[in-house]
Structure 1
């Protein structure tokens, strides 16, 4: 892999700090507590970057946007797409600007759009397609149906065909548009991507499940106080933005309110659907986060809030002092079953263990440290802030770039 070189007269950037976690876990509140005036906060929420979307996406308020150095907030009109590649290019541009900055500023990348963070770590290429080809494929779909398009994709790019949702016309058309534009299979194109040339210091916030569920429910209910979210959607429509544009984005909250205004279901059903979709999003985010390596996980609570009974025996004693806790390492007490065990009792035991872990996000501190991560506990927001401040200070001790 090619190593990115930096001119000797340009200041290396080491303070690039990612703060992420499931939706509604307190990422915005944390970065506003630790950011300084000279720092930069790059929004990594794919919905907060759009204009007009405010209440439903929990966008920082106007006074907060003035008080803190945000980038990519209210950045894009709703009708214009903004891709992960666009995000990656914006971050690179910001880093280059800061290399010439005489002040010791830090760059915080904060949000829950995990594909953005994946692009930063693993790289991305600009897979643009010829618009005329997309239009042609749409006409072919209307004339000949999906089977013909599926057959072409299977013949020309079997790997991509095996991975894609074969019943989703939009994905099939997109895949064929890429293929016809670049005349190469997707796997070949992906080999050309280059990773982000700087080390990304990751801080991941993990709240207890029941706490997060309650926060999600309360946030959604607050959006409906005095019909605030309903009024916002009506205002968006009054400004000439069509319902089809809102429906195309499929943004949680705006999709449900648009359907409510179309008469498809009641106000109460809209609220219930918003809560359900938000919880499902949080679960998907947790699934991705538990695979992370070389990250700092801050568990927002005491060890007993996250560790199931069969783990508790080996849990180190947690002090109740106000000082930031030290890194805690855990050894799992799960018993491994024989490789080929098929008896009913062992299957039941494995099933019970699996259920217990699912209830705790499948994300207990002991399985997190197995991926070369570090784990911290913060019972209060002040403790969380103290830990984050300490981690930000430690960033300067790491090399600024990666091979």
Structure 2
């Protein structure tokens, strides 16, 4: 086995920015390196969620090997620590077999956990957990967000308002330690949690391509994709999950799209407003993702279509440098 560093490509970006098509294009171009696409999208882990996650098609997965897709049930959610353990094993296998891994996805927190490590989580007392759960049952997520806006504003800006789990964890962390989770950054590889030039993946030479679209173009793509999902049977998929015994309270089913459909099925949202509500939630998520990825460096910000030639050249030059 070679002792030199091998190429590790990261393709990141907000939802609906062309990451999948870019990854498939590059994987096919470097087919001779036995590429493996490793998923870094937190919803693609779940085998029951398909239409609402824009999962790569079976044909695309047959053409290029994909890992960490359909590897969990929504009854058994995967957190960032679980993902990191699995992804490190995938990278280890790629290194042993001299294969070319491509990390693809928009879950920035998961990507950072893999590349930089995670801050040491604290053991939260049962009393604090119970108090938090009672507060959530009484008043929902709003008081948690307000608390973090005052006490951990850096962390809350990286979280989507629907990410109840991480919002509550950040709240519990502060209640337990008296310190914000954002102050735990010095425990990341190299100190700065957003500096990917100092990382813990010692065997790998990393190139980070960040897919970015103008806001108006991105909004139109989100609109078109939402419409396509709904005409492809998104509501029917959600109904089938309920008919198969899932409650709708499973954490992955509280994600964008599924949550709004459940609201409609429960009479909390008019059918005529469904598409617009999903689009709005998706645009909010995309804004949160852009905010997170804006802090990560180094990276090359690129349009997935207009910069296709530039993407090819960047990867080619990077590959050539690694061969020297």
Shorter-chain TM-score bucket reads: 0.7 to 0.9
Normalising by structure 2, we get a TM-score of: 0.76
The residue aligned with 1:347 is none
Aligned residue for 2:209, secondary structure, equals strand
Of 123-132 and 14-23, deviating more is 123-132
TM-superposed CA distance for 1:202, in Å, is: 0.7
Q: What is the aligned counterpart of 1:122 among 109, 116, 141?
A: 116
The residue aligned with 2:43 is 47
For 1:52 and 1:252, locate their aligned partners in 2 and report how far apart those are by CA, in whole Å: 15
Aligned residue for 1:204, secondary structure, equals strand
The residue aligned with 1:359 is none
Task: Give runs of aligned pairs for residues 1-400 of structure 1, distance below 5 A.
Answer: 10-36=2-28, 37=31, 38-101=34-97, 103=98, 105-125=99-119, 127=121, 129=123, 132=126, 135-138=129-132, 161-163=151-153, 174-175=169-170, 177-178=172-173, 186=181, 190-194=185-189, 195-197=199-201, 198-225=204-231, 228-245=233-250, 249-300=253-304, 377-378=306-307, 384=308, 386-397=309-320
For 2:234 and 2:166, locate their aligned partners in 1 and report how far apart those are by CA, in whole Å: 31
For 1:282 and 1:244, locate their aligned partners in 2 and report how far apart those are by CA, in whole Å: 23
Gaps of 5+ in 2: 157-162, 190-198
1:92–1:133 Cα change, 3 Å:
farther
Asked if the contact 1:14/1:396 (under 8 Å) is kept, the reply is no
CA offsets per residue over residues 312-368 of structure 1, 9 Å max, x none? xxxxxxxxxxxxxxxxxxxxxxxxxxxxxxxxxxxxxxxxxxxxxxxxxxxxxxxxx
CA offsets per residue over residues 159-190 of structure 1, 9 Å max, x none? 9944476xx99778635754798899857755
TM-superposed CA distance for 1:97, in Å, is: 1.6
1:186–1:267 Cα change, 3 Å:
closer
For 1:120 and 1:51, locate their aligned partners in 2 and report how far apart those are by CA, in whole Å: 22
Gaps of 5+ in 1: 1-8, 302-376, 379-383
Asked if the contact 1:13/1:98 (under 8 Å) is kept, the reply is no
Of 51-60 and 125-134, deviating more is 125-134
Aligned residue for 2:220, secondary structure, equals helix
Of 286-295 and 20-29, deviating more is 286-295
Asked if the contact 2:7/2:322 (under 8 Å) is kept, the reply is no
Larger RCO of the pair (alpha carbons < 8 Å, separation 6+): 2
Normalising by structure 1, we get a TM-score of: 0.62
- Larger proportion of helix: 2
TM-superposed CA distance for 1:114, in Å, is: 1.6
Larger radius of gyration: 1
Number of corresponding residues: 297
